[in-house]
């Protein structure tokens, strides 16, 4: 072996790298992360892994748990995880992915939301091994002088390389000066915490890279960044969001959580397995092969729904939710229901309900979906944009209207 060749990685470092890479979009720079892992193993010093969330809403949904799951996996390897509540940055408003200025929250709104964040995150993280911090600890003391000194360490040209800023600038859409401070303040969090790795969604990549740049400016070893894909919601299209009503809240009751998980598409299910399940990748691959070979995809979806429900409510509650779902699906359908054949699949849920004669209009269909009064094969439909694929399904509207609908392409 030449003198310049890197030493072979230990099994522990290989395992940590594999866990880091599972489901991730990017790990940058991967070589630096391997060096940090190897150094940690050699010295026995855990790495500092940071995740920041702004308390912009009172609850966390399972889309947020994609990065929390990754944090827990790294935490279980013995590293220090820092759950950072952005009580200061929330007052600025994260412009990521926005084509307009995000309205800042009041201090009262932020404090009210922050009270629930860590309690809910603790359903995923090990609270005994989690460092919880608030970025007002170091951001408030900066003051005007400190803010100006921080701003001097980054250029406007680099800031405008950010995709959403570039699009807004070219379109002539206003960009407020305070929005340019957001990436700086998030980056300064990494300096204050001396983080080795920062996690975030793919929409956070620019902000995470600013953290690396500022750490270099302050004479620190730059953090690595790990971005996770954004989880599409129950509609399978839009990013999971409470505002789009396509979410599963981690404090929702077990029956609702189980039923909502079963409502996702067979295709979407595999991404959820990768990002939300703690099953081994080999086990998921085997399960997918079985489904492709003829096994009912609903069997796999039930396994996923049980795992997600059990994580937040326990195994007994997950099993009870499954039994409740089966009772409602089996006991609630009359022996004889209308048989309807429709063409044009995939068919929007509103059009399906109207054409099947279950509602008088698409507006009534949307109202019933909003009220949770529509079920397909026993699963509640929560997405008004749902398109039903070819096949045969039992559709229920309210308590008494049923139809067995066969959809053709």
Q: Where are the domains of the chain?
A: 11-228, 252-331, 334-409
Q: Which two tokens stand for residue 97?
A: 């992915």
CA–CA separation, 147 and 144 (whole Å): 5
334-409 CATH, one of 3.30.479.20, 3.10.290.10, 3.40.50.920, 3.30.70.2190: 3.10.290.10
pLDDT reported for residue 54? 84
**pLDDT of res. 69:** 94
Average pLDDT, the chain: 89
Superfamily for the 11-228 domain: HUPs (3.40.50.620)
Query: Does 255 have pLDDT greater than 70?
Result: yes
Q: CA torsion sign, 236 to 241 to 243 to 247?
A: positive
The pTM of the full predicted model, rounded to 2 decimals, is 0.75
**Percent of residues, the chain, with pLDDT higher than 70:** 93
> What pLDDT does residue 2 have?
46
What is the phi/psi pair of residue 152, to 5°?
-70, -10
What does the alpha-carbon distance between residue 131 and residue 299 come to, in Å, rounded to a whole number?
38
Torsion of CA 217, 220, 224, 227, to 10 degrees: -60
Interstrand relation of 339-342 and 347-348 (parallel, antiparallel or unpaired): unpaired
Q: How would residue 59 be classed by pLDDT, with cut points 50, 70 and 90?
A: confident
Q: What is the pLDDT of residue 407?
A: 86
Residue 141 CA, chain-centre distance (Å), reads 32
Average pLDDT over residues 125-131: 91
pLDDT greater than 80 at residue 1 = no
Q: Report residue 349's pLDDT band, with 50, 70 and 90 as the boundaries.
A: very high
The band of 212, judged by pLDDT with boundaries at 50, 70 and 90, is very high
Q: Which CATH number fits domain 252-331: 1.10.240.10, 3.40.190.10, 3.30.413.10, 1.10.1660.10?
A: 1.10.240.10
> Which residues make beta-bridge pairs with 376?
379, 395
Query: What is the pLDDT at residue 136?
Result: 94
């Amino acid at each position: 072996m030449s003198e310049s060749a890197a030493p072979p990685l230990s099994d522990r470092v290989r395992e940590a790298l594999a866990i880091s890479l599972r489901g991730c979009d990017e790990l940058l720079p991967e070589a630096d992360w391997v060096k940090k892992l190897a150094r940690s193993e050699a010295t026995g010093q855990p790495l500092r892994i940071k995740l920041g969330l702004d308390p912009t809403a009172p609850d966390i949904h399972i889309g947020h748990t994609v990065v929390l799951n990754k944090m827990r996996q790294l935490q279980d390897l013995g590293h220090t995880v820092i759950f950072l509540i952005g009580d200061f940055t929330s007052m600025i408003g994260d412009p990521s992915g926005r084509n307009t200025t995000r309205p800042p929250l009041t201090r009262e709104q932020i404090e009210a939301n922050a009270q629930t964040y860590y309690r809910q995150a603790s359903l995923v993280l090990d609270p005994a091994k989690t460092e919880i911090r608030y970025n007002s600890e170091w951001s408030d003391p900066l003051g005007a002088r400190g803010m100006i000194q921080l701003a001097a360490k980054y250029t406007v040209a680099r800031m405008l390389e950010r995709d959403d800023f570039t699009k807004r600038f070219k379109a002539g859409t206003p960009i407020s000066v305070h929005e340019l401070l957001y990436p700086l303040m998030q980056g300064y969090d990494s300096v204050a915490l001396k983080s080795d790795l920062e996690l975030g969604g793919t929409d956070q990549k620019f902000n995470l890279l600013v953290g690396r740049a500022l750490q270099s400016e302050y004479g620190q070893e730059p953090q690595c960044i790990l971005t996770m894909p954004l989880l599409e919601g129950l509609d399978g299209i839009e990013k999971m969001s409470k505002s789009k009503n396509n979410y599963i809240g981690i404090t929702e009751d077990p029956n609702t959580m189980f039923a909502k998980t079963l409502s996702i598409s067979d295709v979407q299910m595999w991404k959820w397995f990768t990002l939300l399940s703690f099953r081994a990748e080999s086990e998921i691959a085997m399960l997918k092969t079985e489904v492709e070979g003829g096994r009912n995809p609903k069997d796999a979806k039930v396994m996923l729904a049980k795992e997600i429900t059990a994580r937040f409510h326990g195994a007994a509650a997950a099993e009870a939710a499954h039994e409740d779902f089966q009772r409602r699906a089996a006991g609630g359908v009359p022996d004889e229901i209308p048989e309807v054949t429709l063409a044009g699949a995939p068919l929007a849920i509103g059009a399906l309900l109207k054409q099947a004669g279950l509602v008088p209009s698409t507006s009534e269909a949307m109202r019933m979906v909003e009220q949770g009064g529509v079920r397909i094969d026993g699963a509640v439909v929560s997405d008004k944009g749902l398109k039903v694929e070819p096949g045969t399904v039992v559709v229920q509207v309210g308590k008494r209207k049923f139809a067995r609908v066969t959809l053709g392409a």
